[in-house]
Amino acid sequence: MSVVKQLYHITKELYQTLQDVPKEEKRDEYINTINHFLDKREKLIQSLPKEFSIEDKRFSEKLIELHPEIDAALKKFLSEIENDLKKVRQRKLIHNKYNQQTVYGDGIFFDKRK
């Protein structure tokens, strides 16, 4: 199988994986899977030949068509993660503000008489 064809199949698997975003519990596993596909793609891209056969050109055109969709799905997933991080930071900030309220036990009231 040619490098371009392998690249197409890996890219297609990545695209299909990006269509099924899991819930928060399985997000780490999902990120590892995506990174695995991206690493494979990077290695294959580095080993691409300078000239393509006719069949390889067809697969490369399909790759070019998939690229914007993959890019959009990755950006959407990244924005979901960023939103979740903002929510966690906000909850943590509110929690810390609530817990850091100090109780002054040595409050003194001075009564002035003239």
Closest CA to 65 of 19, 8, 13: 8
How far is the C-alpha of 59 from the C-alpha of 85, rounded, in Å? 38
How far is the C-alpha of 92 from the C-alpha of 61, rounded, in Å? 47
Evaluate whether residue 29 is within a structural domain. yes
Evaluate whether residue 104 is within a structural domain. no
pLDDT tens for the 114 residues of the chain, in order = 788 899 999 999 999 999 888 877 788 899 999 999 999 999 998 988 888 888 888 988 999 999 999 999 999 999 988 998 999 898 888 777 666 555 555 666 666 766
What is the reported pLDDT for 75?
94
What is the reported pLDDT for 25?
77
CB 50 within 8 A of CB 73: no
What is the reported pLDDT for 65?
93
Evaluate whether residue 61 is within a structural domain. yes
Evaluate whether residue 32 is within a structural domain. yes
Evaluate whether residue 48 is within a structural domain. yes
Q: What single-letter DSSP state applies at residue 106?
A: T
Evaluate whether residue 68 is within a structural domain. yes
What is the reported pLDDT for 94?
77
User: Which residue range is the domain that position 12 belongs to?
Assistant: 3-99
Evaluate whether residue 114 is within a structural domain. no
The number of folded domains in the chain is 1
How far is the C-alpha of 66 from the C-alpha of 15, rounded, in Å? 8
